[in-house]
Structures are given as structure tokens and as C-alpha cells.
Amino acid sequence: MEYLEQSFSVKFDYKVFFTTSLFKPDNFTLANFILSVPAKIRRKILFVVDEGVAIAHPDLKASIKEYFKVYQEIQLVEDILIIPGGEAAKNNPELFEKLIAAVDTYGIDRHSYIAAIGGGAVLDLVGYAAAVSHRGVKHIRIPTTVLSQNDSGVGVKNGINFKGKKNFTGTFSPPAAVFNDAEFLLSLTDRDYYAGISEAVKVALIKDEAFFEWLEAHASSLAERNSKQMNVLIKRCAALHLAHISSADPFEMGSSRPLDFGHWAAHKIEQLSHFSILHGEAVAMGIALDSTYSYLIGLITEEKLQRILNVLQVFFELTHPLIQIQDLNAPVLKGLAEFQEHLGGELTITLLSDIGKGQEVHQIDSDLLIAASNYVMEFTRQPQSLSL
């Protein structure tokens, strides 16, 4: 058999910056980053802003324009695009096409930047459009929610939905840089603010017992929106997320995806709720279900399970008619097959073998899922534990 063999490695690196007031003219963080990359022509940057962020920060457009008046070496595209945010943005292929057309209209090339300011959905959509334009325009992420600052925004994935199926099309494309500005969190509703905490609980549960204990200890002050503690949470969660990506299989060529603990059910109930349940809320419910399943098959003790459910309950409803599994026809169960199909290969579900330790299994017993769902429902009917 005659053949030629090709083999090469591609190196990717990027920084995740933590700052406040990113567009204050004396904040050098963003301008320094862009100017630090050698370029022989003037660098161009196009901003795309989440509509919700633009409404909550009516001065944002003007601030961006003022900022780049100070840093004239960078060519700001005069039009700042505003696009609808939230999961609905990922269901609308016209928004994707609008972004591709903007790359053409504004002459954005492979050494220009497209910067997205917004929640995870806008970052996913803009990141995907940037990744495929000219086979990859540099993409800067400026996440504005807890969830995107500690999780999706610092990772390497992007994508949009197809016929309601989450992230059906997308790529693995590391950003050029990420800028986490703590100020954006101040304008979030409590619901959006809390929603981001479930990914921190998740990554603590599968990777970092000490972080889980920290979350237990600081749950009340996080619930009161203590900024200092929230910054600690975001930085630690982002660091765990980055470490996971670089240590394992960044572009997920295998079938394992431990960071998706709790996500098979979460993805499905988001879709079943027509995205009225937020991703973070769905993940909290998914964690509750799969932690309980881990207890029922003997992987963790009931005491540890209840610690988990108690922390989650500070921020979230842990059950919902869409995740209640009364029999084998419960629609959420379809999420298992869809999860397997998206990753391909064998079914691989992460459970817990301890607090701070994920464990993969390749089979899930639906009858035990019914029992787990009933346990969570029963638990949430009790008066909340006073241990926190």
C-alpha cells in the first residue's frame, strides 16, 4: 500500500485579562494587547455588541469611540454593530450571515480583529462568524456575564444552533484574547448573575474539592452579590477551565468530555423549554440529577450529595416539570442519545466518585434516573437546610 504521511502540530496561545472599566481611556489593557502584536499596517477592529448590554450601558458605544481616539494607531470601524443576545441569537441564521456580510463590507482581513461584547450566546455566534471568515479572522472576546467570564468565554469553542439543536455547527477556534471586565457584572439581573455560578459548582465538583468547600463557605455572600468574592470565583473557575483544556484534548478528538458533567440533561431541557430556562439554570438541574444518580449507584455518600444539593439550592430551583422523569417516555431522556451523537462514539457520561473527582461511565440506567429525579423532587420539598 503506497501512501504519503502528513504530520504537524499547531501551537495556540492566548491570555485572559482581568480588568475593570476596559474602555476608560487610561486603561491600557486592550490597546496594549492589540499594539503588542507586530503588524506592518494599521490594525483594524470591528465591535459587535449584545443588544442587552448596549441597553444596560447606554454610553458604551460612545466610550468605545472615545477610547480609540486615544489609540489612533488602531483603526476602529466606525459602525458598531448591535445584535440581539441570548440563546435566540444562535437560532437565527440571518444574524450569522449579517456578520459574514460585515466582514466583507468593512474589509476585515485575517489580521484584523472582530471584538464581541456580550453574553455567551453572542460570543458563540460572533466567534463562529470570525472563525470561518477568510478561514479565521482574529477574535477578541469581552464576556459580560458571570457564565461567559468564568466558562464559555475563556474556552475554545463557538457555534450556533440548527433546527433548535444546540451548537450543531461551530468550530474549535481559540480567541486572540479575552477581556473580563468586572464592571459589566454590576448591571446583570439576579437571575443572570446566579446562572453563572452553576458552572463554578460543576468544575469544583469534578476537579477541585477545596474550591467546592470555598463555594460552600461563601455561598451566602455570593448570593448577596459580593463583588470581591465573585471575582475570586470567576478567576478560579476560569483557571480550572483553561487548565482542563490545555491538559486534555483541546479540540475534543476523543469521546470524553468531563466538563460536560450535568450537561446531557441540561442541553435537552434548555431546548424543551425553548430556551426560557437559562443554560446555567439547566446545568444546576443537570448537576442535581447526575449527583443524585452518582449517590444511587454508590459512588458518593448521601451526606456529600446533600452538601451539593444545599449549595445549588442557594442559587437555583433544582427541579422543573421538564426534568422530572416519571417514566421511560420522559422527553428529557432523549438528551442521552443526542449527547452521544454530538460527541460520537460510545456514550460517555461524567458522574462523581467524590466531591472534587469526576468519573466516567458508559451506561446509564433509566430506572435509576427515575429514582434520582424523584429524590431531587423530594429533597426540594423539604425546608432548606440550615447548614449554610
Binding residues for its own copies restricted to 302-341, rule: CB under 8 A = 340-341
Minimal distance, residue 302 CB to its own copies, in Å: 33
- The answer to whether residue 225 forms part of the interface with its own copies (CB under 8 A) is no
Pick 93 or 331: Cβ nearer its own copies: 93
What string of DSSP letters covers 75-103? EE-SPPEEE--SHHHHT-HHHHHHHHHHH
d(CA 196, CA 120): 10
- The answer to whether residue 381 forms part of the interface with its own copies (CB under 8 A) is no
Q: Out of 65, 172, 213, 353, which residue is the one contacting its own copies (CB under 8 A)?
A: 172
141-167 burial, b for 16+ CB within 10 Å, e for fewer? bbbbbbbbbbbbbbbbbbbbbeeeebb
Pick 116 or 323: Cβ nearer its own copies: 116
Pick 154 or 285: Cβ nearer its own copies: 154
d(CA 16, CA 142): 10
d(CA 147, CA 161): 19
Residues 6+ apart with CB under 8 A from 256: 248, 249, 348, 360
- Tell which positions 355-374 bind its own copies, by CB under 8 A: none
Phi and psi dihedrals of 20, rounded to 5? -130, 150
- Tell which positions 227-246 bind its own copies, by CB under 8 A: 235, 238-239, 242, 245-246
Kindly state the cell numbers that stand for 77.
Answer: 470601524
Pick 144 or 348: Cβ nearer its own copies: 348
Site stretch for its own copies (CB under 8 A), options 14-22, 51-59, 73-81, 144-152: 14-22
Pick 14 or 211: Cβ nearer its own copies: 14
Q: How many residues bind its own copies (CB under 8 A)?
A: 71
- Tell which positions 255-284 bind its own copies, by CB under 8 A: 255
Site stretch for its own copies (CB under 8 A), options 9-17, 188-196, 291-299, 365-373: 9-17
d(CA 302, CA 387): 15
- The answer to whether residue 14 forms part of the interface with its own copies (CB under 8 A) is yes
Minimal distance, residue 211 CB to its own copies, in Å: 15
d(CA 113, CA 34): 9
Minimal distance, residue 119 CB to its own copies, in Å: 20
- The answer to whether residue 165 forms part of the interface with its own copies (CB under 8 A) is yes
Angle between helices 227-247 and 197-207 (to 10 degrees): 50
CA dihedral sign, ordered 238, 229, 18, 85: positive
Kindly state the cell numbers that stand for 323.
Answer: 426534568
Residues 132-151, one symbol each (x = binds its own copies by CB under 8 A, - = not), give xxxxxx--------------
Kindly state the cell numbers that stand for 179.
Answer: 477581556
Closest by CA position to 195, among listed 373, 84, 317, 288:
317
Residues 90-129, one symbol each (x = binds its own copies by CB under 8 A, - = not), give ----------x--xx--x-xxxx---------------x-
Q: Out of 26, 41, 78, 381, which residue is the one contacting its own copies (CB under 8 A)?
A: 41
Residues 195-214, one symbol each (x = binds its own copies by CB under 8 A, - = not), give --------------------
Minimal distance, residue 13 CB to its own copies, in Å: 4
What does the DSSP 8-state code read for residue 362?
Answer: S
